[in-house]
Structure 1
Amino acid sequence: MANATMDAAVLTELKHIELQELGIPAPKDNEVLIRVRAVGLCGSDIHYYEHGRIGGYVVEKPIILGHEVSGDIVAVGEKVQNLKEGQRVAIEPGATCGECEHCKAGRYNLCPDVEFLATPPYDGVFCEYVAMREDLVFPIPDGMSYETAALVEPFSVGVHAITRGRLDAGESVIIMGMGPIGMVTAAAAKMAGARQIIGVDLEQSRLNTAKEMGVTHTINLREDDLAQKLNEFTAGRGVDLAIETAGSPKAVQGTIFSVRKGGRVAIVGMSPQDEVPMNVAQIIDKEIDIMGVFRYHHTYPKALEMLSKAEINIETIITDKYTMEQTADAFEKAIHDKTNTLKIMIYPSGE
């Protein structure tokens, strides 16, 4: 494929994406070349599109967004041993150094030198082909769709959240925020044996969908009183594990309020403000364990296994599908129709 070109959807300036013809990357000795089949549109992509930055990660030059991805291997590097052409795969989007203290301790999601797809300055996968390191590429079961394989990435966040939160079978969980991450976290909790999963949101349409993702009880904060419903659902005890996925200061406060004495809180969502007021008296009085959740590590094999035999159809959260030529329309839809939009899927090589 020397000198061949591909189409790519490139963010050239704030809120402006254009289709460009770029060279197809040549895989290095330890890489495979993948034809991109399906890419989920993530909230971080939308943030870069709208604002050009997330915290210290700033878009300073044109960038290809997208990191929730699946595809087909079309070429392999000379030193690749465990993969072959023709395999259908899911891609873990973060290439870590393997040498820092965090990588060596197994928590490679904390690697300071990670090269993460669609995080400046690294390009993502709203393009026809991508070259990836062998160890970041995972063959998928024959019966798994490209869509589900792309959703392994956000699902991994949910798997990591319940792992960090030490969820045991038979426990109760409350999830603040029924966006895509809240939905897949609910699915992960259900698959892990949670007895009761309470979903909290402001949109009834999302709460309705959440019931298909494993949620057993819902609280609509536009209509319901959190304290009253929590008391009703848990007989005044509170939940074992509270997970925040909304990126909202009020949601963080809600998790601390909702968890039982001796319970755990896992914070996934990134609030727009760095500092969020919390009730320290409750944290101490209940002796709550509070954990931050950043991406994931060692989740892909487990996530693929869970999704391959799941009773929950994770594709339920896909509300819209677009071609790569329609990528800009997909972003605008996600921004302006939050009520009806959960996960948008984009197809760089056609459906």
Structure 2
Amino acid sequence: MKQVVLTGIKKMEMVEVAAPIITSADEVKIKLKVIGVCGSDIHYYSEGRIGSQVVEFPFPVGHECSGVIVEKGENVDNVNIGDLVVVDPSVYCGVCDQCLAGRPHTCRSNKFLGCPGQLDGCLGEYIVMPGFTCFPVTGSLNPVQAALIEPLSIGLYAVKLAALANNKQRIAIFGAGPIGLSILLKLKADGVQNIGMVEPLAYRLEKALEIGAEYGIQPNIEDVEAKVSAMNELLLDVVFEASGEQDAVDNALKILKPGGKLILVGIPPDALYTFNMDHMRRNEITVVNVRRQNGCVEEAIELVQSGKINAELMVTHQFKLEETDKAFDIVEGYKDGAIKAMITFD
């Protein structure tokens, strides 16, 4: 089968490899339909690592995908051959302390699609996964919508962890990439009104305003603290940081009210943030870390099926598998108005 692999920093190659085969009665074989290019994929592409997770080249990345079941093991009963499925890229054991505590996303032996040292990614024609990672959506979602469920579920989980007191709370989101927009889509679906988007790229800020952000701030040309303070005298209840930038964290702390919450969703390139602890301590700011998603896939599917969320609003580009290197280059360089690029097989 055809597969795209990273061969070095900002280098990709299409190769021919043997198609994966089912080796367990609990597995399914999936023919891929659509693959999303994620920000974490871009970290591996441009830096070769995310923190301690270092790529050994060659390596196929990719974890956001939808596909059709073409084969299944005898123990699989949640999907049928021919089903279009959403694929949850996280494979957990189900028996460790974390899984038993309802935290499979922090499973002690978790394996994740496209994560170095764990599982090869989905940038190819077929993958084999445990049946429990697949959610059938035949007739209710198209393949692009199905592939968008993975990033959307992270946005849902971030909002869930924020535990908003009501839909009148004052909120800001830093970063109008796919995850920041997923958070925005969920907040709007919940009826939250006072939402600001902080984003340096004008075209991304415009997209956030189109989706429903009440106001936008470009931190490279505007004073974030001054603008927020002018509109919200008591400052903000919750800030979602979805950019992975130190400046965003610094600004977020300045615009949070005493007792406010900072929800960290973005991935910093060097895996480090610094915090003004004097400010955080005196204002008793709560910091919440978001690790992928936990139990939000089905809700994300339902929200898209119902029309409450139009996840396709974030899609700006579609490419063929043979054009994957171009897709990564455009997303990594913020070229051509790129927000979300999808690799399609049709």
Does the 8 Å contact 2:43/2:269 carry over to 1?
no
Distance in 1 (alpha carbons) for counterparts of 2:258 and 2:9: 46
1:221 aligns with 2:256: no
Q: In the alignment, which of 320, 331, 336 is matched to residue 334 of structure 1?
A: 331
CA contact (8 A) 2:319 2:341 kept: yes
2:18 alignment partner AA: G
Paired residue for 1:156, among 145, 153, 156? 153
Is the 8 Å Cα contact of residues 212 and 312 (structure 1) preserved in structure 2? no
The one-letter amino acid paired with 2:256 is V
Correspondence for 2:120: 123
**Aligned residue number for residue 102 of structure 1:** 98
Give the whole-Å Cα distance in 2 for the aligned partners of 1:21 and 1:339: 30
Rounded to whole Å, the distance in 1 between the matches of 2:11 and 2:221 is 38
Cα distance in 2 for partners of 1:22, 1:196 equals 50
Q: Give the gaps of 5 or more residues in structure 2.
A: none
Deviation at 1:243, TM superposition (A): 0.6
1:118-197 alignment, distance < 5 Å: 118-121=114-117, 122-140=119-137, 142-167=139-164, 168-197=166-195
- Alignment partner of 2:3 out of 5, 8, 29: 8
Residues 306 and 312 (structure 1), Cα distance of their counterparts in 2 relative to 1, 3 Å cut? closer
Residue 339 (structure 1) shift: 6.5
Do the aligned partners of 1:214 and 1:312 also contact (CA within 8 Å) in 2? Answer: no
TM-superposed deviation, 1:325: 0.7
1:69 to 65, 72, 78: 65
Given that 2:186 and 2:309 are in contact with CA atoms closer than 8 Å, whether structure 1 keeps it comes out as: no
Task: Rate the CA distance shift 1:232–1:175 in 2: closer, same or farther, 3 A.
Answer: same
Decide whether the 8 Å contact of 1:212 with 1:316 is kept in 2. no
The farther-off stretch of 273-282 and 294-303 is: 273-282
Moved more, 109-118 or 309-318: 309-318
What secondary structure sits across from 2:273 in the alignment? coil
Cα distance between partner residues in 2 of 1:51 and 1:273: 9
Q: Which amino acid aligns with 2:61?
A: L
CA contact (8 A) 1:67 1:118 kept: yes
Give the % identical residues.
34
1:288 to 271, 285, 289: 285
State the alpha-carbon separation in 1 of the partners of residues 231 and 96 from structure 2.
45
Query: 8 Å contact 1:248–1:271 — kept in the other structure?
Result: yes
Equivalent-residue separation in structure 2 for 1:187 and 1:344 (angstroms)? 18
Q: Which residue of 1 aligns with 2:248?
A: 251
- Please give the per-residue CA displacement for 1:69-128, whole angstroms capped at 9, x wherever unaligned: 001111111111121011111000010122222111111211232110000122111111
SS of the aligned residue for 2:94 comes to coil
Shifted more, 337-346 versus 122-131: the winner is: 337-346
CA apart distance, 1:258: 1.5
Choose the corresponding residue for 1:24, options 19, 23, 26: 19
The letter for the 2-side match of 1:92 is D
Instruction: Report the TM-score, using the length of structure 1 for normalisation.
Output: 0.93
How many equivalent pairs are there?
343
Letter in structure 1 aligned against 2:101? A
Distance 1:233 1:309 in 2: 34
Structure 1 gap segments, 5+ residues each = 1-5
Is it true that 1:299 corresponds to 2:296 in the alignment? Answer: yes
Deviation by residue 1:253-276 (Cα, 9 ceiling, x = unmatched): 222222222221111112234443
CA distance in 2, matches of 1:213, 1:156: 17
- The equivalences for 1:28-67 within 5 A come to 28-67=24-63
Larger deviation, residues 283-292 vs 88-97: 283-292
Distance 2:12 2:335 in 1: 20
User: Matched residues in 1 for 2:9 and 2:176: separation?
Assistant: 27
Q: Which residue identity is paired with 1:23?
A: A
2:81 equivalent to 1:89: no
